[in-house]
Amino acid sequence: MDDEHCYRAMAGRDGRFDGVFVTAVTSTKIYCRPSCPAMAPKREHMRFYATPAAAQEAGFRACKRCRPDAAPGSPDWDLRADLVARTVRLIGDGVVEREGVSGLARRLGYSPRQLHRLVFAELGTGPLRLALAHRVQNARALLETTDLPVSDVAWAAGFGSIRQFNDRIREVYALSPTELRRKTTRAGRGGPVQAPGAIPVRLAYRPPLDLTGLLGFLGLRAVPGVEAYDGQTYCRALRLPHGLGVVSIPTAGAKEVRPSIGTYPRPQYVDCELRLDDVRDFATAVSRVRRLLDLDADPAAVHASLRDDPVLSSSVQANPGQRVPGAVDGAEMAVRAILGQQISVVGARTLLGRLAAQFGEPLARPSGSIFRAFPSAEALAAADPSGFPLPARRAQALRALASAITEERVAIGPGADRDETEASLLALPGIGPWTASYVRMRALGDPDVFLPSDFGVKKALAAIDGPVDPDTWKPWRSYATLHLWATLSTQSDHQHRPKENQEP
């Protein structure tokens, strides 16, 4: 978007662009969301930036009224597969906090200097500044929702020193961490945690959102001991860099933050709760839950593209809040895809439960019916294949996948190159086009994946009179696939059963 498009979006208070860019005012040195209800400044005083980090680097601080740092992420980073998008996704996953900018650059195959130059050329700021902005956002969330000591919040958010933490909070919010916490509690927007060890989290999204349908999809495939869904709350274990955790998401967790402005509602949020072995995993857990729920999507863009399609229109009109369920762990999703080949959802869930019971890591603090984390790739690679509760060929494919991930011959994560990952998966024994594409859709968050050999897709297409060209659904074919599944008359157990055409 050029400045003129940004100005028109800002002038219309269009909430769809919250998170896509921020608008800064030179006379006040404040940056805001495009939908900020404050009086619009003169055009000559306005500047537009792709990220809050770029606005902060230019000397602007966050608006205290619209809280631009709490907006949902830009949908561009899910739609795009280039270097900058992969960089942003990895920063959101906390790679800079764990490995530094040099580790980030190494993952992407560039030198730190090259990476900084390429990212700065597009976003107006470098990877380190993007990571600092991410830390500040997470620090504010912890200050608002937990009773952790301020010093612990600094370490949990990824800051290397208390002084750096204090300076950055003051720079962005014009308040000290203690003042920010006091102001938040007084305003009734947060406060100390009530349940011991629990961290309540608000995850912003662009409405509409069919949270009940999304959690129902995940709940239908819940692995016993690892996931649970009772029709009201979806819970699952998380494998994180510093330990394990559990997230709980109620179906009634989608709430509106503020009244609507104009014709488009302000961003809303999903309530959830985290329990972490190590609070340093807070930012990574939030990022992965956001990907699981596809919360950075732009449903308005998807709806506008698919609503007039004769095949999909009824489903799109009935459910404009459709999201593509993601994954909290790429390796786990690949394992689940392999075990789900050519069997029913119930059958796959049973096999996965047995696999998790045998090789999964127990939680130090079980939560309800959640007892263990899904087995890691390292655990499966080291295991005796004869111990897998699977047919021999399926066990061979599972072992080959786990070994390839452990040896870093296959990368399945937020910074992975989607084409390279798909090609490397197809090179493994027992993995065909459906499995590789399904992993690309759910684990890599590609919004433009079509599954022509999927049982449910073929059944839905067979019920349609006349030819169908899936290319007309680009770049939203992943969403089109979900809508095709929804057009089936019943939510049968076999609705999404895969059929690998080229499975050995």
Quickly list H helices, 239-308: 282-293, 299-306
Cis peptide before 475 (omega within 30 of 0): yes
Residues 281, 294, 329, 454: which is the catalytic one?
A: 454
Residues 6, 32, 235, 272: which is the catalytic one?
A: 32
Please say whether the beta carbons of 46 and 7 come within 8 A.
Answer: yes
Element (H, E) at 47: strand 46-49
What count of Cα atoms within 13 Å lies in the side-chain half-sphere of residue 111? 3
Closest CA to 49 of 40, 39, 61: 61
β-pairing verdict for 61-62 and 233-240: unpaired
Closest CA to 199 of 95, 90, 94, 280: 280
CA distance 391 to 393: 6
The crossing angle, in degrees rounded to 10, of helices 282-293 and 150-157 is 60
Closest CA to 64 of 99, 32, 96: 32
Query: How many residues belong to the chain?
Result: 504
Q: Is 32 a catalytic residue?
A: yes
Closest CA to 345 of 182, 498, 185: 498
CA distance 504 to 494: 22
Tokens representing residue 74 in the block: 């830009």
- Tell me how far apart the 2 most distant CA atoms of the chain are, in Å: 71
Alpha carbon separation from 369 to 42, 239, 402 (Å, rounded): 57, 17, 27
Q: Is 36 a catalytic residue?
A: no
Q: Which residues have a catalytic role annotated?
A: 32, 454
